[in-house]
């Protein structure tokens, strides 16, 4: 099998007389399925949410990568795209939303505000300076707001990350491969 095809479907196909046998690792198969059907939570606080909506429209179309099932409840979502500034009053709510999501769950920090407070870093009294003070983040995207392409890039990066995890344990890198 060619290298590129391997990446798309992580298995080897052995032809037999009456069909074929697929040989793969369970981890790879699960990760393949998981990474291609991430359900994001509809969560937007400010400007980045509009670019997130643009990523869902026909021009950018995130459903090409399996993201189109946006859920309004955290209990059905496994990805939270933090699109917009998080302030002190919102932080407990965000934490609560994150806690309500079933494992395994992922976080994309979209935009400068969620990385560090961004334009609201200096001289503000109510802005959380980086959403990673509240919840763990998997992928950061810079920009104010980032373009929809940047969001797509972040999502594909997240898919790559998921593909390198072991489903019943921690990430491969932490386990010593």
Partner 1 sequence: MTNEEIKTAVSALFPSVTYDETGEFLTLLITPAEIRSVMKALRYNTEFSFDYMFCLTCIDWKTHFMMVYHLLSKTHRHNIVVKAKIADVNKPEIETLCDIWQTANFHEREVYDLFGIRFLNHPDLRRLLLDEGWDGYPLRKNYVDENMISL
Partner 2 sequence: MSLLGEPELTEEGEFVINIGPQHPSTHGVLHLKVWLDGETIKKIQPHLGYIHRSIEKMSESLSYRNFIYATSRMDYLSAHINNQACALTVEKGLQIEAPPRAQAIRILMAELTRLSSHQLWWGCTGLDLGAVTPFFYAFRERELIMEIMEETCGARLTQNYSVPGGVMYDVHPNFQNRVKDVMKQVKSRFREYEEALTGNVIFEQRTKGVGYLSAEDAISFGCTGPTARASGVSCDIRKWFPYDGYDKLQFDEIIMTGGDSYTRYMVRMEEMKQSVAIIEQLIDNIPEGDFQAKTKMVIKLPKGEFYQRVETARGELGVYIVSDGAASPYRIKYRSPNFSNLSALSHMATGAKIGDLVAIMATIDLVIPDVDR
119 binds partner 2 (CB under 8 A): yes
**Pair 145, 111: CB distance under 8 Å:** yes
Return the number of the residue (15 or 123) whose C-beta is nearest partner 1.
123
Return the number of the residue (6 or 133) whose C-beta is nearest partner 1.
133
Matching residue, tokens 């992580």: 10
Q: Is the peptide bond before 45 cis (omega within 30 degrees of 0)?
A: no
How far is it, in rounded angstroms, from Cα 40 to Cα 38?
Answer: 6
Q: Is the peptide bond before 104 cis (omega within 30 degrees of 0)?
A: yes
Return the number of the residue (63 or 124) whose C-beta is nearest partner 1.
124
Convert residues 73-102 into a mask of x (bound to partner 1 by CB under 8 A) and - (unbound): ---------------xx-------------
16 binds partner 1 (CB under 8 A): no
Among 59, 103, 123, 176, indicate the residue that binds partner 1 (CB under 8 A).
123
133 binds partner 1 (CB under 8 A): no
């Amino acid at each position: 099998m060619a290298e590129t095809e391997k990446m798309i479907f992580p298995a080897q196909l052995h032809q037999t007389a009456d069909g074929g046998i697929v040989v793969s690792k369970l981890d790879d198969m699960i990760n393949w399925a998981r990474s291609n059907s991430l359900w994001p939570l509809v969560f937007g606080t400010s400007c980045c949410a509009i670019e997130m909506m643009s990523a869902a429209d026909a021009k950018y179309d995130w459903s090409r990568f399996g993201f189109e099932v946006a859920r309004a409840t955290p209990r059905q979502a496994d990805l939270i795209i933090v699109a917009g500034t998080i302030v002190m009053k919102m932080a407990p709510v965000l934490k609560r939303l994150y806690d309500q999501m079933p494992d395994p769950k992922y976080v994309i920090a979209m935009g400068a505000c969620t990385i560090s407070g961004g334009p609201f870093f200096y001289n503000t009294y109510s802005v959380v300076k980086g959403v990673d003070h509240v919840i763990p983040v998997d992928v950061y995207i810079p920009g104010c707001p980032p373009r929809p392409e940047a969001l797509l890039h972040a999502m594909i990066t997240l898919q790559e990350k998921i593909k390198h995890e072991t489903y019943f344990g921690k990430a491969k890198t932490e386990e010593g491969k």
